Amino acid sequence: MTTRFYYGPKTCALATHIVLEYVGADYEAIKLDFRENQQRSKEYLAVNPKGRVPALVTDRGVITETPALLLYLAQTYPQAKVAPLDDPFALAEMQAANSWFCSTVHVAHAHGPRGSRWSDDPAALQSMKAKVSKNMTDCFDWIEEELLRGPWLMGANFTVADPYLFTMSSWLATDGVEMAKFPRVTEHYKRMLEMPAVRKVLPLHGM
């Protein structure tokens, strides 16, 4: 069967979408319109009961959550060499970065557009939005100073962590943070923009 990839424009699904293209996967991309709440439709909830993207439908079942999807693709396409699969410590370092993007950076961003996940109180929603810029700045200060080794996130070799960082970086402007404050992150973002896989996928995400 052809792998089906469900995504929403300008979401964290961008990272997996880039990797699907980069490794040369045979897949069908299916866009969900969040404005129409398609991620909560009966049809999609049958695929992913969480009502979130991304989701990858494989011949063995459905995989969700970006860190899991990225590792799955790295292991399914080892010839692409997008993860240090033969080095347990380096692989754990990469997974630590991806897990932090998922658990901390993404959440810091989501407190703005998705604050209703945590509260229905208008004052609390405004308070969360007010902290987004500061929290994202703090996250990217650490990325700039500690995490980004250069030229790629994990050092000399491109890995699946790079599209994930690229995705997080693409949210900075809407979060009220100037990417130019982070020269190394900016350089990484520009390097990603030069990749054919990125140029092919971005228009599908309205970018």
SS3 61: strand
Question: Which H/E stretch holds residue 28?
Answer: strand 27-31
* Residue 66: HSE in the Cβ half-sphere, 13 Å Cα cutoff: 31
Handedness of CA 105, 110, 112, 116 (dihedral sign): negative
Which domain range does residue 33 map to? 3-81+201-205
CATH number at residue 163: 1.20.1050.10
Q: What is the pTM (predicted TM-score) of this model?
A: 0.96
Residues 73 and 95 in one domain: no
| 94-104: pLDDT as tens digits | 999 999 999 99
SS3 127: helix
Residues 59 and 120 in one domain: no
Residues 62 and 97 in one domain: no
Residues 106 and 123 in one domain: yes
CATH number at residue 43: 3.40.30.10
Q: Could you give the number of structural domains in the chain?
A: 2
| 45-81: pLDDT as tens digits | 999 999 999 999 999 999 999 999 999 999 999 999 9
| 167-194: pLDDT as tens digits | 999 999 999 999 999 999 999 999 999 9
Residues 72 and 92 in one domain: no
Cβ count within 10 A of residue 149: 12
